[in-house]
Amino acid sequence: MTAVAVPGNPLMLSVLALLVLITVVAVIWHVRHRGQKTQVWTNRAEEHDERLKLALWASGEQFWDYDLAAQELHHTRVSTSAVDDQPEITVERYGLDELTIHPDDLPQVQNALRQHLRGATPVFSSEYRTRRAEEHSWCWVRARGKVVERGPDGRASRVAGTVRNVTDSRSAEHERRIAIEVLRNMDEAVAVFDRDFRFISVNPAFTRITGHDPGDVLERSTSVLDSSRHDIEFHRRLRHDLLRDGRWSGELWIRRRDGDEFLCLLRITSVGERDGRRSHYIAVLNDITDKKRAEQELRYLANYDPLTGLPNRTLLLERISAAIVRARANHTRIGVLFVDLDRFKDINDSLGHGVGDRILRAVATRLHAFAGPQQTAARLSGDEFMLVLENIASDEEATSASQRLIAAFESPVTFGDGQEVIISPSIGISLYPDDAQIASELIRQADTAMYRAKAVGRRTSMRYEAAMDADVQRRATLSAALRTVLDRNELSLAYQPRLSLSSNEIAGVEALLRWNSPEHGQIQPAQFIPLAEETGMILEIGKWALIEACRALATWRDAGLTELTVAVNVSSLQLLRGDFPQVVERVLEQTGIPAHRLELELTESVLMDNPAEATISLQQFRRIGVNLAIDDFGTGYSSLAYLKRLPITMLKIDKEFIDDLAEHTDDAAITTTIIAMGHSLGLTVVAEGVETSDQAQWLRDHGCDEIQGYWLAEPMPAAEVAKFVQERSARGASTF
Ligand code: C2E
Ligand code: MG
Ligand code: MG
């Protein structure tokens, strides 16, 4: 500036001119240079724009820019042009009210933005559902952004960032998370391993089931699970088949970490790479030990009796059928023995079902021991057992086996804590091929023969005969005929007198049922009464007998026999009917018979069947005034202590003891005891089935009160009773 202050100097002037020139040149250069620079910048900006556009296009991101003051959102989207497949930019502008964010997500978006604007977060980031006006379904987007401009007061005025549609990746992620959760919660063990059979991952159930933690097995060979129950060849083949087929499934044993082994159901499938090569295998293991055990138990239950462990009917049939095949080939016989325990029902009822079960188990053990390992002992039901004896040479061999079996039951059966009971079997025998060719038929025949063994007095065996079927048939026919017996008036009563040994007078008569069938002839009570009891007909028949006997007594009383009593037999079914005492009371009223002129005869088994109910009925009868007799005494199980508790008035000693009075000292001793015992309880003692004068004399000598039997009189029609009683009375006390 000092130079400018010296004008007129030519040197100075030329320097000045040079300076001006330089300045002008500089200015011109500068201006031109600036133009060039602007061009470069413009070029560069365009290049950047292009790059940004391409990047946005390729990445699928969109750009947004939010003007807070104007509350406007600019949205820059790069899509593929439908015309030339090139990126195409669209810029959309929305007012805040035009933005559609899912109402559930909106609070979260607003919160994230607020946080960022406040400076609490370095970036705004949020994932939410949004939808365009024209679209119905929501899509998930992930938006990120940042404050890019602030006002003079430092408050954010503009936020910009990118947004991206994450619907697909989100659902893939969602599915992946579900898959992981499923794997984690699966009951089945899942293991992933590679082509070299090395574990890559395992789920918690795998650890639970095999005992191996992931740390123990990852990158180790799957052979840690190999069980010694399969040989090396098995495992080699499994691996070979898996590599060849890409899948394998089957049952196999697996070794646990603690060395225990369990059976599992294994399914392995391969997971392919994109190029189709198999890279991984997924193994799903199910512990089926329990299932197998349950299956085995079911199979056991289907074939074995749970109480005794013996084969049941199903397995028995199978065994007999298999035995038949062998017997046919070897030309041998099979003996099928139907074994039924005698009076087991009495034992069960008197000692209780718990004891009954223990006795059945003890019997099963004895039968099993008798049969030995080569033969079959089975239980059909209740107290019915079966023995199958193979390689029998003859009929006699089967019979002698049955006798040995009866002998084997002579020693008491021990059950529970050393308690003992003597129990005898009744046995029915049928033979293959003599009697039948098929299993079910052999069993049926042996059953029929067993019934016959029971009928002839138990504790014995019977060989099946074809005639027995006729018997069974007859029972069925009689049973049917019995239903109409009252309507057709085919029943009658016969009366058997009883003599008082002290007064030599007829004390009473016993009413005995008679069935005269036009089709079947005279049928014995021993035949039809059990049938009537089985079918329940005995209720009606018994009531009929009661009324009929009381009516007969009323006519004899009218004829002057007022001291006479009538005895009526009562079966257990009648006694158990709660209203039986009322029925009796009504009948007495209707016929005008004093209660103490009626006696009811009950057998020991009737009382033992249901002691509690029976006792109640008996007490009601005693209140009415009816007399009660125990029939067939000595054949059942009643003890003196039990009798003492019952309100009975009379004991009838069974014919079995009377028969052999003279020669058999045992029976004589028993009879003497019963008489003494009866008297000590204040009971009238009657001897049944007295057939000879010697027996009558013996009984009189031993203090028996009354006798009944053929020696005195056989049962007679009602019409003959009055005459018989009067004649006997007329003979006087001297004639015996
Ligand atoms: P129970 O009550 O013991 O009757 C005595 C049975 O012995 C009668 O057989 C009788 O005829 C027979 N008897 C009498 N004295 C002699 C004798 O000296 N020698 C022989 N060998 N037998 C003699 P019955 O009439 O065949 O009756 C058999 C059984 O049928 C009776 O035995 C009784 O338990 C039952 N019963 C008969 N009538 C009825 C009835 O109305 N209701 C019920 N529930 N059972 C009846
Ligand atoms: Mg009787
Ligand atoms: Mg009797």
243-292 pLDDT, tens digit per residue, is: 999 999 999 999 999 999 999 999 999 987 666 678 889 999 988 988 88
User: Which two three-digit tokens encode residue 383?
Assistant: 């107290």
Residues 342 and 218 in one domain: no
Residue type, 736: F
What is the rounded CA–CA span in Å between residue 183 and residue 197? 20
pLDDT per residue as tens digits for the range 505-564: 999 999 999 999 998 999 999 999 989 998 899 999 999 999 999 999 999 999 999 999
For residue 29, being part of any structural domain is answered with: no
Binding site membership of 548 for ligand 1 (Cβ less than 6 Å)? no
Structure tokens at 637: 């199980």
Report, as an integer, the average pLDDT of 387-411: 95
Positive or negative, the CA dihedral 349, 355, 361, 363 is negative
Torsion over CA: 358, 362, 368, 372 (sign): positive
- Are residue 661 and residue 636 in the same domain, yes or no? yes
Task: Tell me the C-alpha distance between 197 and 520, whole Å.
Answer: 86
- Alpha-carbon span 532 to 631, nearest angstrom: 19
In-domain check, residue 353: yes
Residue 640's pLDDT band, with cuts at 50, 70 and 90, is low
Residues 224 and 343 in one domain: no
Of 235, 262, 287, which marks where a domain is finished? Answer: 287
Q: Which comes out higher in pLDDT, residue 459 or 50?
A: 459
Pair (302, 273) in one structural domain = no
Higher pLDDT, 277 or 308: 308
Q: Which of 252, 287, 322 is the C-terminal boundary of a domain? A: 287
C-alpha–C-alpha distance, residues 691 and 661, integer Å: 11
Instruction: Kindly give the number of the ligand 1 atom that is closest to the alpha carbon of 494.
Output: 25
**b/e burial code for range 226-237 (CB count within 10 A of at least 16 → b):** bbeeeeeeebee
Q: Quick one: 628 and 649 in the same domain?
A: yes
Q: Which of 567, 642, 571 is nearest to 603 (CA)?
A: 571
Alpha-carbon span 99 to 113, nearest angstrom? 15
Claim to verify: residue 434 and residue 479 sit in the same structural domain: no
pLDDT of residue 97: 73
329 and 253 inside one domain: no
Same domain? 239 vs 368: no
pLDDT digits (tens, 9 = 90+) for 657-699: 999 887 767 889 889 999 999 999 999 999 999 999 999 999 9
Distance 688 CA to ligand 2 centre (A): 9
- At 11-36, the pLDDT tens digits run 777 777 778 778 877 778 877 877 77
Which residues are registered as beta bridge partners of 414?
Answer: 420
**Does residue 581 form part of some domain?**
yes
State mean pLDDT over 81-106.
83
CATH of the domain at 258: 3.30.450.20
Same domain for 544 and 595, yes or no, is yes
Is 649 part of any domain? yes
* Token pair of 303 as six digits: 């074939």
CATH of residue 406? 3.30.70.270
Final residue belonging to a domain, choices 231, 264, 287:
287
- The protein residue with its alpha carbon nearest to ligand 1, atom 35, reads 525
* Residue 639 confidence class, pLDDT cut points 50, 70, 90: low
Nearest to 702 by CA among 729, 654, 667: 667
| Ligand 1 pocket residue status of 499, Cβ below 6 Å | no
The answer to whether position 586 is within a domain reads: yes
Which run of H or E residues covers position 341?
strand 333-341
Number of domains in the chain: 4
585 occurs within a structural domain: yes
pLDDT tens column, 121-168: 999 999 999 987 677 888 899 999 999 999 888 889 999 999 998 888
pTM of the full predicted structure? 0.53
Q: What is the pLDDT of residue 528?
A: 95
Nearest ligand to the C-alpha atom of residue 527? 1
- Pairing status of strand 72-80 against strand 87-95: antiparallel
Structural domain for 214, as ranges: 186-287
**DSSP string spanning 659-693?**
HTTTT-HHHHHHHHHHHHHHHHTT-EEEE----SH
Both 459 and 497 in a single domain? Answer: no
What is the percentage of the chain residues whose pLDDT exceeds 90? 62
- List, in sequence order, the alpha helices (H) in 186-312: 204-210, 214-217, 232-245, 289-303
| Position 176 in a domain | no
Q: In which band, very low, low, confident or very high, does the pLDDT at 606 lie, cut at 50, 70 and 90?
A: confident
Atom of ligand 1 lying closest to residue 513 CA? 38
Average pLDDT, the chain: 90
How many CB atoms are located within 10 Å of the residue 351 CB?
15
For residues 140 and 218, membership in a common domain is answered with no
Q: Is 632 in the pocket of ligand 1 (CB under 6 A)?
A: yes
The CATH number of the domain holding residue 487 is 3.20.20.450
Q: Are residues 477 and 512 in the same domain?
A: yes
Has residue 7 been placed in a domain? no
Q: Is 714 in the pocket of ligand 1 (CB under 6 A)?
A: no
Amino acid 253: pLDDT: 93
